[in-house]
Amino acid sequence: MQKGGMLNSSIAKVLADLGHTDTIVIGDCGLPVPAGVQKIDLALKPGTPSFLEVVEEVAKNMVIEKVEIAAEMEGRNPAVYGAMKQLFTEEQWIIDADHEAFKEATKHAKCIIRTGEITPFANVILHSNVFF
């Protein structure tokens, strides 16, 4: 057993297998999962676990180059948008034109981690970087 870090074995495996520019998605419970993309379902009940809880924990265990969101998050979910702005640097941000473009980009992800989040546009694509 690990001493600490990511305890979810499915997420830990995905993180260990990531290469530079690979992506993973963390989303609310309504984000569609494209055919062929692995789904890691953490949702237990509405709101549990929250989107931000999962993003924060994954960020502790992943080298992140870019953070991609849909433009709608800023206006339709300002609390989550503000929290994301505090977690990640300005240089890391990519903002898609709209939610449809964001959903199209999820088709290339290694996995989608489904949370219990029930607020709108609480979805992010994390682009992997290297530690060296």
* Residues annotated in a binding site: 28, 99, 121-123
Tell me the β-bridge partners of 69. 95
Residue 111, number of CB atoms within 10 A of its CB: 22
Amino acid of residue 50: S
In the set 5, 9, 17, 20, the catalytic residue is 20
The Cα angle at residue 14 between residues 48 and 80, in degrees rounded to 5? 35
The answer to whether residue 108 is catalytic is no
Residues forming the annotated binding site for substrate? 28, 99, 121-123
Instruction: Give the integer Cα–Cα distance in Å for 46 and 86.
Output: 24
* Neighbouring C-beta atoms of residue 23, cutoff 10 Å: 18
Mutual orientation of helices 78-87 and 51-60 as an angle, nearest 10°?
A: 10
Catalytic residue IDs: 20
